[in-house]
Structure 1
Amino acid sequence: MYNFDVERPGTVADAAAAMGREDAQALGGGQTLIPTLKQRLASPSVLVSLTGISEMAGVCTTDDGQVAIGGATTHGAVARDAAALYPGLAGLASHIGDPAVRNRGTIGGSLANNDPSACYPAAALGSGATIITNKRSIAADDYFQGMFTTALEESEIITEVRFPVPEVSDYQKFVQPASRFALVGVFVAKYAAGVRVAVTGASNDGVFRWSEAEAALSSDFSADAVKGLSLSGDDMISDLHGTGAYRAHLVGVMTGRAVTSAA
């Protein structure tokens, strides 16, 4: 590690002001950022801790029936407090990492880093969520722009995420045993307007929607509907944990399991 300053603002306005400092970096639970700093893949001079901002924590419902989750809400709190409101999302949160990770990591931090193997990006994209910052609202379809890349601008902070609640949903992931990240994870959500399927952990471009599966499942919401579908492994991540072809195969398997569990 190296020397850096830490600021602990108490409001979103104070946090935004602190983020205006040169080389400032927002700090949620630190589950992704701290390892990044240790490996010297990032070297901010100021860390702005967001975990003490009470207005950015908690789970509630909006007037139009969406589930609103503060950006500083931990995975454990989502698993507990969203269980009755959005079971599929709560189930996803309950299987992130281990208890220590779930009690420190935050939904805002996960979405801001957009790790290609993180679980929340699949939930946000699969739900058609809206990411709300201190400056604007961003549709999930516009927010994710590639591996570790988002639409966030400098000094922009995720204050809240709003999820439209589906009729049924489920998340299934094939866990990489050492890191407990998703080697492949699939979030399936069935709405009156159709089905959304979002895949994490597999593509070199980060989280993505599987449009062919969405079309098939919108006509027939069953695991049989995706059995004949396949993805190319050419654009998939290939590493010591699995080839691109293996990940492409897992996408189909996890999608089928998610549909079966949801239905």
Structure 2
Amino acid sequence: MQSFDLVKPSTLAEAVSALAADGAQALSGGQTLIPVMKQRLAAPSVLVSLGGIAEMRGVAAAQGVLRIGAATPHAAVAREAAAHYPALAKLAGGIGDPAVRNRGTIGGSLANNDPSACYPSAALASGATIVTNRRQIAADDFFQGLFTTALQEGEIITEVQFPIPERAAYVKFEQPASRFALTAVFVAKYANGVRVAVTGASNDGVLRWKAAEERLSANFSASALSDLNLSGADMMADLHGSGDYRAHLAKVLTGRAVAAS
């Protein structure tokens, strides 16, 4: 790892100003960035820590929406969201191990957009809004491929707004070594329909399974998926599983999520 300067702003305005410096990069929980820097795959000259910004932390629910500050650690989401959005709280409580859950943040996870991360599926299935220091971005527009999002240079996620569903569940088939999702599915049922998001499977990252959404909106039952299948050709294939295997897992896990919600 190369040397760097660390800036710890206490306000969002200070963070935005610090990120304007050449070679500056935002540091949230550091669960991805620090290992990448250790491997010399990234070498920012300035790290701007977001963890000390009080306005970017915390969980609150009002008028059917759960608002989570982007610098809120997974462990805090697991505790504080449980009374409002149990499926999201369960997801947060199953990320990594205690060390990761107490350091990693929801904003950092969404900004990184790892194809096997848990939070992108929750945001997409919930129709969440990702709030930044510049604008509001619908989850459908935010995720743009592997490790790619709609964020622009210097843009910081400040908050994530989750409409609270009538019913929801997250089911993860875990890769035991990394505890990332080999494949996982988040299902959320709202008054105007059902949304289904799959992570850990597609070559393009997190995706909505719209055919399943249509079926479940008409009949919220695992049996509604009986003759539906995803194409294995569009799925990741590695030593842990083929594309066909991941496509099959996505269908099975969607049924389990419906049953569990």
Per the normalisation by structure 1, the TM-score is 0.97
Question: Displacement, 1:228?
Answer: 1.6
Structure 1 residues 96-142: Cα deviation after superposition (integer angstroms, max 9, x where no partner)? 11111111100000000000010000000000000000010000000
Look up the SS of the partner of 2:6 in the other structure.
strand
The equivalent of 2:227 in structure 1 is: 228
Look up the SS of the partner of 2:260 in the other structure.
helix
Query: 2: distance between equivalents of 1:173 and 1:237?
Result: 16
Identity over the aligned pairs, expressed in percent? 69
The equivalent of 1:20 in structure 2 is: 20
5 Å-filtered alignment, 1:106-117, equals 106-117=105-116
Question: Displacement, 1:227?
Answer: 2.2
* Number of equivalenced pairs: 261
Per the normalisation by structure 2, the TM-score is 0.98
Contact kept in structure 2, 1:227 and 1:256, CA below 8 Å:
no
The equivalent of 2:30 in structure 1 is: 30
Look up the SS of the partner of 1:117 in the other structure.
coil
Contact kept in structure 2, 1:59 and 1:81, CA below 8 Å:
yes
Contact kept in structure 2, 1:60 and 1:68, CA below 8 Å:
yes
5 Å-filtered alignment, 1:113-192, equals 113-192=112-191
Query: 2: distance between equivalents of 1:133 and 1:99?
Result: 28
Q: Amino acid of the residue matched to residue 77 of structure 2?
A: V
Structure 1 residues 66-93: Cα deviation after superposition (integer angstroms, max 9, x where no partner)? 0000000000000000101111111111
Alignment RMSD, CA only?
0.8
The equivalent of 2:48 in structure 1 is: 48
Q: Where has structure 1 moved over 4 Å in runs of 4 or more? A: none
Question: Displacement, 1:24?
Answer: 1.3
Contact kept in structure 2, 1:92 and 1:171, CA below 8 Å:
yes
Structure 1 residues 203-253: Cα deviation after superposition (integer angstroms, max 9, x where no partner)? 111101000100010111111111221111112111111111111111001
Q: Amino acid of the residue matched to residue 203 of structure 1?
A: S
The equivalent of 2:81 in structure 1 is: 82
Q: Amino acid of the residue matched to residue 226 of structure 1?
A: L
Query: 2: distance between equivalents of 1:218 and 1:153?
Result: 35
Query: 1: distance between equivalents of 2:236 and 2:169?
Result: 23
